[in-house]
Amino acid sequence: MANDPTAPPAWHGTTILAVRKADKTVIAGDGQVSMGQTIVKGNARKVRRLAGGKVVAGFAGATADAFTLIERLETKLEQYPEQLARACVDLAKDWRTDRYLRRLEAMLIVASRTEIYTVTGMGDVLEPESGVAAIGSGGNFALAAARALLEGELDAEAIARKAMAIAADICVYTNRELVVEIV
């Protein structure tokens, strides 16, 4: 499965959640880094601001691979300022077709104030229907919780924090040490 671009992504070791509600978009990421069944770090930063703070990206997967992808995304954002969708599509195209990039094992969630995209090495650039997206081992737990909370009175940040707490209660690869960035 390693280095097989056609295999589904191996989501393990983190939870990244993006929530857009009203005029606010939030990306939250937990801080746990695991090697197998061992926690090696509890306060890692898996969420980064890009494009002068106008874009936020969170990653799951191999850290070095994710940093490579985030650097490439920053270059695309410089090339296509104010065009987040185009930058993400261009990154996904490069990721899928470039021999070196194709071997990278990570996933990204990228967001601006008005857009959220999940970007994968299989060429996917997915915009969620509900304004909520998640990746990582606890991603499905956080996604379900955030979708359930969307209809209530909570704002995007409160939804993200509560959904991540729920994911941390269920997923052993997710902790409560959050990095939360608001766009």
| Residue numbers annotated as active site | 14
CB 75 within 8 A of CB 50: no
* Chain centre to alpha carbon of residue 51: 16
CB 33 within 8 A of CB 43: no
CB 84 within 8 A of CB 57: no
CB 136 within 8 A of CB 10: no
- Give the largest CA-CA distance in the chain: 47
